[in-house]
């Protein structure tokens, strides 16, 4: 059976993370050869192993992509192994929390570096190969980069540097889409809502806890938190030919979080109250 990405080479940064692993498996199932990297060698190897076990092809290298040399090495490694780059998925991140006041300058720089500068460095290094393949780039941003809702702990008090960096990623993506469109390179973002990953577990705690409940409640589809596969499906779409006329776009995959303004679904009681207020005016 032929796959939608047969003959293509897809690079995934932070390949040891849960969203990256689901993406590697999804793209490989459609025929892509995967090149993954992570600062954590063990996690990156686990992803490559999962792809192999599923019958796909994957190469992996452990790198710190926040260094220019690491970003360049990643692109060079892909060319050495497979000779081309068709898709780049900028997924890696590391973040330190804090409010606008409590974040230390060191934590601010760390977080902006790992969420905004790092994906720019990797993209820059991959551009010559992407130009040859007329390939595409997907940045994994976040709903917290675009929303000013108050219902999401990460967006208000806790993760100001992270949200600010993700806002920068949205802008960077549009700038690159403009710059690279004439070369046939498409550039898009995906903005996930709260997705079930190891990072989410660390940040918001286990299902049933109050912090976790607060983080997931704003979804308009209340039955479940997002799954890494939900994000992987979006990446597959954006790097495939099905999206060949899509560039400079943001695909929100958030269970309707953004649409609710981060406030969550209105209850029947809320709706009834609002109707009464409208009638009274
Ligand atoms: N999980 C969510 O709910 C959620 C929500 C919105 C957006 N996102 C975004 O989705 C992406 C993946 O999220 P995740 O939850 O799987 O995160 P994660 O933290 O599990 O994975 C990120 C990976 O990046 C790697 N990494 C960190 N610094 C690196 C460096 N300097 N060089 C190379 N690799 C490095 C980490 O080791 C890790 O394996 C991130 O961009 C994140 O901001 C996630």
Does residue 126 sit within a domain? yes
Q: Give the pLDDT confidence score for residue 154 in this predicted structure.
A: 46
Does residue 177 sit within a domain? yes
Does residue 2 sit within a domain? no
Q: How many domains does the chain have?
A: 1
Does residue 207 sit within a domain? yes
Ligand 1 contact via 39 beta carbon (within 6 Å)? yes
pTM across the whole model: 0.94
For CA atoms 73, 76, 82, 84, give the dihedral sign: positive
Distances 89 to 62, 101, 156, 212, 235 between C-alpha atoms, Å: 16, 32, 27, 27, 8
Does residue 4 sit within a domain? no
Q: Give the pLDDT confidence score for residue 198 in this predicted structure.
A: 87
Does residue 1 sit within a domain? no
Q: Give the pLDDT confidence score for residue 153 in this predicted structure.
A: 46
Q: Give the pLDDT confidence score for residue 279 in this predicted structure.
A: 60
Structural domain for 124, as ranges: 9-280
Q: Give the pLDDT confidence score for residue 273 in this predicted structure.
A: 66
Atom of ligand 1 at shortest distance to CA of 91?
Answer: 41
Supply the CATH number for residue 74's domain. Answer: 3.40.50.720
Q: Give the pLDDT confidence score for residue 1 in this predicted structure.
A: 60
Does residue 65 sit within a domain? yes
Return the H-helix or E-strand segment holding 241: none
- Which residue ranges of the chain lie beneath pLDDT 70? 1, 148-157, 211, 214-215, 222-223, 268-281
In order, the DSSP letters of 91-134 are -------B-TTTS-HHHHHHHHIIIIIHHHHHHHHHHHHHHHHT
Ligand 1 contact via 165 beta carbon (within 6 Å)? no
Ligand 1, atom 21: closest residue by C-alpha: 17
Residue pair 74/125 in contact (Cβ under 8 Å)? The answer is: yes
Does residue 3 sit within a domain? no
Ligand 1 centroid, distance to 197 Cα (angstroms) = 9
């Amino acid at each position: 059976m032929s796959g939608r990405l047969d003959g293509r080479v897809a690079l995934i940064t932070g390949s040891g993370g849960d969203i990256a692993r689901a993406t590697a498996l999804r793209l490989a199932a459609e025929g892509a050869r995967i090149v993954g990297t992570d600062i954590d060698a063990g996690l990156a190897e686990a992803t490559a192993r999962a792809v192999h076990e599923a019958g796909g092809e994957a190469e992996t290298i452990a790198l710190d992509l926040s260094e220019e040399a690491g970003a360049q090495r990643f692109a060079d490694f892909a060319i050495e192994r497979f000779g081309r780059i068709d898709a780049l998925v900028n997924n890696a991140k590391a973040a330190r929390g804090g409010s606008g006041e409590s974040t230390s300058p060191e934590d601010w720089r760390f977080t902006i570096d790992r969420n905004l500068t790092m994906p720019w460095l990797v993209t820059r290094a991959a551009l010559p190969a992407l130009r040859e393949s007329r390939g595409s780039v997907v940045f994994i941003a976040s709903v917290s980069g675009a929303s000013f809702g108050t219902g999401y702990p990460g967006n208000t008090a806790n993760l100001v540097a992270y949200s600010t960096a993700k806002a920068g990623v949205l802008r960077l993506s549009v700038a690159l889409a403009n710059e690279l469109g004439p070369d046939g390179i498409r550039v898009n973002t995906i903005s996930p809502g709260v997705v079930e990953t190891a990072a989410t577990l660390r940040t918001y705690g286990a299902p049933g806890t109050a912090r976790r409940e607060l983080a997931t409640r704003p979804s308009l589809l209340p039955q479940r938190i997002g799954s890494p596969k939900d994000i992987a499906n979006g990446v597959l779409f954006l790097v495939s030919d099905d999206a060949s006329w899509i560039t400079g776009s943001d695909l929100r995959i958030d269970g309707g979080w953004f649409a609710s303004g981060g406030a969550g679904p209105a209850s029947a009681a809320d709706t009834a109250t609002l109707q009464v207020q409208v009638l009274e005016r």
